[in-house]
Structure 1
Amino acid sequence: MTRSKNLAFTTPLKGNLALCDPCDDADLHRIRDLYKFIWVREGRVQLRIDHIPLELHAGELVPLTPHHRLEIPQIDAEVLILAFDSNFYCIFGHDGEVSCSGLLFNGTSELLRLELTEERAAALGRVIDDLRAEYEVADGLREEMLRMQLKRFIILCTRFARERFAVHADREKLFDIVRRYYVLVDEHFRTRKRVQDYAGLLNRSPKTLANLFAAYGQPSPLSIIRDRVNAEARRLLLYTSKSAKEIAYLLGYEDTAAFSRFFAKMNGESITAFRRREKRE
């Protein structure tokens, strides 16, 4: 496999953009805390995301947030990773432009897998080519041109995701409620664990939200909250040395026993058993 020249760009304000094609361990460490698009262009690759195995095939693309911990034990496929941070391009500050928060990027364990047709892959490939070309131009306009190419890539992926959920122009506003719900859960899951809390923030009833999520084939609003809490609990248990009591407090549980019961119900094993098993693997 021929290795393409990787791209790494840092702005004066510490914004970062990286294109790894393919990646090695040093690349993965460097982009660990960035937003990422993982695109398998040829072959298949075995990943571990938050210690959960995932196999991606050629033509599949997965977006990840900085919360997701990515591991690629062995790279024997053509895998392209486009990564960036909020200092380079803030997806929340530019939500009106790209509308990807909550759709492409959210902190739950339910990953969005996009299957790219030849036409879609070609469109993204043109953006990558333009991104590489702009990187070679060393002038004062390069930063903004690179940002524009990243924005194009994000918008295309957002369109592909909307097509997957059959979001037509006349239903964009309804689907936007689903997207905003994910954003609000990411923001408030530590302190708000009831659907009615988010329904109030969205000026909708819990029943309306449940019907809307069912119409788009999404998990129930309550399961999204629980999944987000559980995903954060697993990450804290896997990647920190914090005790169950400390994690319970961070996740908004005053009672450690209540948190332990929640974790066991969600994962089918106790916190102690989970940590012991994961350390062995």
Structure 2
Amino acid sequence: MELTFNTKLKGTIALTDSFQLTKTLREDNSLYKFIWARKGTVTIDVDHQLITLQENDIISLTNLHHLEIKESEGDYMILLFNSNFYCIYGNDHEVSCSGFLFNGTSRIMHFRLSEEEKATCEAIITSLQSEFQVNDNLKEEMLRILLKHFIIHATRVARKNLHITPDMEESFNSVRRFYVLVDQHFKEKKQVQDYADMLCKSPKTLSHLLSLYNLPSPLKVIHQRVEAEAKRLLLYSEMTAKEIAHLLGFEDQASFSRFFKKVSGESITQYKRQLKESGKIDN
């Protein structure tokens, strides 16, 4: 099954249970994704890291993450959309998911549905499937409403998994804002103080906020974002290490190489050799 709707302004929303067979969706690098293992298990490759989803697991990926379905022993569903169809940043006041369900680090949001939560997801997906078949001038907005419903439900489930209570709303919004700022500025700002200043907080307070939700330290979040971008560029672009170093805001290739080895545990040369030997990049 593949259901797709495109707007006149290049907005896209799609629903599929056969992503690996859908070239158009696989090659569209503008799409945000929810992957839901509905029955059995599904093994996926996200930026060449294997993840096995158990029944009723959901993960959310940004348009930056590269997704492949490696093996499916059951049924899965993927809901996809781009910013032209629904902008999660511009409409954060509606769904409160930016920097939480979706951010550019390698730390992927992963949660499991209860039976009640599963029933809600099933109802939304069923409504989406029906709406894709409608042909009138209300279709676009109805699909957008249902997408928002799914995002809000996913946000609530993920918050529940992190034990976020109403009295923690303000502090959690600061954490989300921090992740958004890192996505926006990681190339030129790599110090915790930079982000603490933008949030009008001290570095110590920012560290405390992240620790409340068992998240990495602010410096590690920044480093994870830079590392994720570096690895994506090494994997999916033809840029040299020198060009990547410049793009990511390092003074020179040597400082980038030192950073990469420190955060990944291997040199750029070792990383690329490993990718070539595994066939993940061309020789």
Q: CA deviation at 1:266?
A: 1.3
Equivalent residue number for residue 174 of structure 1: 171
**Matched residue, 2:190:** 193
1:97 aligns with 2:94: yes
Q: Distance in 2 between matches of 1:32 and 1:70?
A: 10
User: CA deviation digits over 1:55-88, x for unaligned, max 9?
Assistant: 1111100000011011112333211000000000
1:248 maps to 2:245: yes
Q: Name which of 3, 7, 21 aligns with 1:7.
A: 3
**CA separation in 1, counterparts of 2:70 and 2:130?**
31
The residue that corresponds to 2:13 in the other structure is 17
Question: How large is the Cα RMSD of the aligned pairs?
Answer: 1.1
1:123-149 deviation digits (Å, cap 9, x = unpaired): 011001111111111100000000000
- SS of match in other structure, 1:75: strand
Q: How does 1:112-127 map to 2 (within 5 A)?
A: 112-127=109-124
CA distance in 1, matches of 2:276, 2:37: 29
Which residue does 2:269 correspond to in 1?
Answer: 272
**Distance in 2 separating the partners of 1:264 and 1:72:** 29
User: Does the 8 A contact of 2:32 with 2:61 survive in 1?
Assistant: yes
Q: How does 1:110-259 map to 2 (within 5 A)?
A: 110-259=107-256
Unpaired runs of 5+ in structure 1? none
- AA partner of residue 23 (structure 1): F
Distance 2:236 2:74 in 1: 27
The amino acid across from 1:9 in the alignment is F
Aligned residues: 277
Select which of 103, 106, 111 maps to 1:109: 106
**Paired AA for residue 107 in structure 1:** G
CA–CA distance in structure 2, aligned partners of residues 273 and 170 of structure 1: 47
CA contact (8 A) 1:213 1:220 kept: yes
Tell me, in whole angstroms, the C-alpha distance in 2 between the residues paired with 1:218 and 1:268. 21
Residue matched to 1:70? 67
Aligned equivalents of 2:168 and 2:261: distance in 1? Answer: 39
TM-fit CA distance, 1:267: 1.4
Percent sequence identity is 51
List alignment gaps of at least 5 residues for structure 2.
Answer: 279-283
Shift of 1:32: 4.2
Residue type of the partner of 1:174? Answer: S
**Aligned partners of 2:196 and 2:203 also within 8 Å:** yes
The equivalent residue for 2:26 is 29
**How many Å apart are 1:6 and its aligned residue?**
2.0
TM-score by length of 1: 0.96
Structure 2: distance between partners of 1:167 and 1:125: 24
| 1:169 to partner: Cα distance | 1.1
Larger deviation: 250-259 or 19-28? 19-28
